[in-house]
Amino acid sequence: MSKRNNKQSGEPKKQIVNKKILYENIISIFRTSPSDTFNYKQISSRLEIKDHPLKKMITDILYELTTEGVLEETQTGKFKQKSEGFYVTGIVDLTSQGYGFIQSKEYPDDVFVSMKNLNHALHGDMVKVYLFAQRKKARPEGEVVEILKRARNTFVGTIEVSKNFAFLIPSTTKIPFDIFIPLRSLNGAQNGQKAVVKINEWQAGTKNPIGEVVEVLGFPGKHETEMHAILAEFELPNKFTKEIEDAASILPDTISATEYKNRRDFRDITTFTIDPKDAKDFDDALSIRKLENDNWEVGVHIADVTHYIKPESILDHEALARATSVYLVDRVVPMLPERLSNNICSLRPNEEKLCYSAVFEMNNNAELINQWFGHTIILSNRRFSYEEAQQIIDNGEGDLKDEVLTLHRLAQILRADRFRKGSIGFERDEVRFEIDSTGKPLRVYYKEFGESNQLVEEFMLLANKKVAEFCTGVLSTPSPPRVGKGKTSVYRIHDKPNMEKLETFATFITKFGYSIQTSSTKKISESLNELIEKVKGKTEQNLIETLALRSMAKAVYSTDNIGHYGLAFKHYTHFTSPIRRYPDMLVHRLLDYYLQGGTAPNREHYDEMCKQSSDMEKRAADAERASIKYKQVEFMSDKIGLIFDGVISGVTEWGFFVELTETKCEGLVSMRELTDDFYEFDDDNYCITGRRKGKKYQLGDAVKVEVYRANLPKKQLDFRLVSDEV
Tens digits of per-residue pLDDT, 595-648? Answer: 998 877 888 899 999 999 999 999 999 999 999 999 999 999 999 999 999 989
What angle, 0 to 180 degrees and rounded to 10, lies between the N-to-C axes of helices 521-535 and 541-551? 160
CATH architecture of 637-721: Beta Barrel (2.40)
Please check whether residue 129 is in contact with residue 111, taking contact to mean a CB–CB distance below 8 angstroms: yes
Spatial CA neighbour of 654 closest among 688, 604, 691, 693:
688
Is the domain spanning 15-81 CATH 3.30.9.100? The answer is: no
d(CA 16, CA 690): 36
What is the pLDDT at residue 85?
62
Please check whether residue 489 is in contact with residue 607, taking contact to mean a CB–CB distance below 8 angstroms: no
What is the pLDDT at residue 569?
95
| CA distance readout (Å), 84 to 81, 145, 172, 430, 549 | 9, 16, 37, 52, 41
Please check whether residue 302 is in contact with residue 284, taking contact to mean a CB–CB distance below 8 angstroms: yes
d(CA 260, CA 376): 9
DSSP state of 672: G
Tens digits of per-residue pLDDT, 61-90? Answer: 898 888 877 788 888 889 987 765 678 899
> Does the pLDDT of residue 445 top 90, yes or no?
no
Give just the sign of the alpha carbon dihedral 217, 218, 219, 220.
negative
If DSSP states are collapsed to H, E and C, what string results for 426-494? CCCCEEEEEECCCCCEEEEEEECCCHHHHHHHHHHHHHHHHHHHHHHCCCCCCCCCCCCCCCCCCEEEE
CATH architecture of 154-220: Beta Barrel (2.40)
What is the pLDDT at residue 345?
97
Q: Which CATH class is domain 87-149?
A: mainly beta
Q: pLDDT-derived band of residue 479, with 50, 70 and 90 as boundaries?
A: very low
Report the range out of 30-44, 91-105, 232-246, 471-485 with the highest average pLDDT: 232-246
What is the pLDDT at residue 5?
40
Please check whether residue 87 is in contact with residue 130, taking contact to mean a CB–CB distance below 8 angstroms: yes
Tens digits of per-residue pLDDT, 291-302? Answer: 999 999 999 999
What is the pLDDT at residue 477?
47
| CA distance readout (Å), 497 to 158, 418, 494, 629 | 41, 19, 9, 27
What is the pLDDT at residue 643?
96
DSSP state of 311: T
Q: What DSSP element (H or E) covers 499?
A: helix 499-509
d(CA 220, CA 159): 11
What is the pLDDT at residue 135?
61
Q: pLDDT-derived band of residue 540, with 50, 70 and 90 as boundaries?
A: confident
d(CA 400, CA 405): 9
What is the pLDDT at residue 12?
39
d(CA 74, CA 72): 6
Please check whether residue 464 is in contact with residue 587, taking contact to mean a CB–CB distance below 8 angstroms: no
> Does the pLDDT of residue 10 top 60, yes or no?
no
What is the pLDDT at residue 268?
97
What is the pLDDT at residue 83?
61
Mean pLDDT calculated for residue range 360-369: 97
- β-bridge pairing 78-81 and 71-75: antiparallel
Please check whether residue 674 is in contact with residue 628, taking contact to mean a CB–CB distance below 8 angstroms: no
What is the pLDDT at residue 429?
67
Q: How much of the chain exceeds pLDDT 90, in percent? A: 57
What is the pLDDT at residue 485?
43
Q: pLDDT-derived band of residue 653, with 50, 70 and 90 as boundaries?
A: confident
- β-bridge pairing 382-385 and 271-275: parallel
Please check whether residue 381 is in contact with residue 263, taking contact to mean a CB–CB distance below 8 angstroms: no
What is the pLDDT at residue 474?
67
Cβ-proximal residues to 512 (8 Å cutoff; 6+ apart), any chain: 540, 544, 700
d(CA 127, CA 612): 19
Q: pLDDT-derived band of residue 4, with 50, 70 and 90 as boundaries?
A: very low
| Average pLDDT, rounded, for the chain | 88
- β-bridge pairing 368-379 and 264-265: parallel
Report the range out of 140-144, 204-208, 590-594 with the highest average pLDDT: 590-594
Q: What DSSP element (H or E) covers 212?
A: strand 210-218
Mean pLDDT calculated for residue range 142-160: 92
Indicate if 637-721 has the same CATH topology as 154-220.
yes
What is the pLDDT at residue 475?
54
Mean pLDDT calculated for residue range 462-484: 71
Can you give the residue ranges of every domain in the chain? Answer: 15-81, 87-149, 154-220, 246-495+553-625, 637-721
What is the pLDDT at residue 350?
97
Mean pLDDT calculated for residue range 303-320: 97
> Does the pLDDT of residue 689 top 70, yes or no?
yes
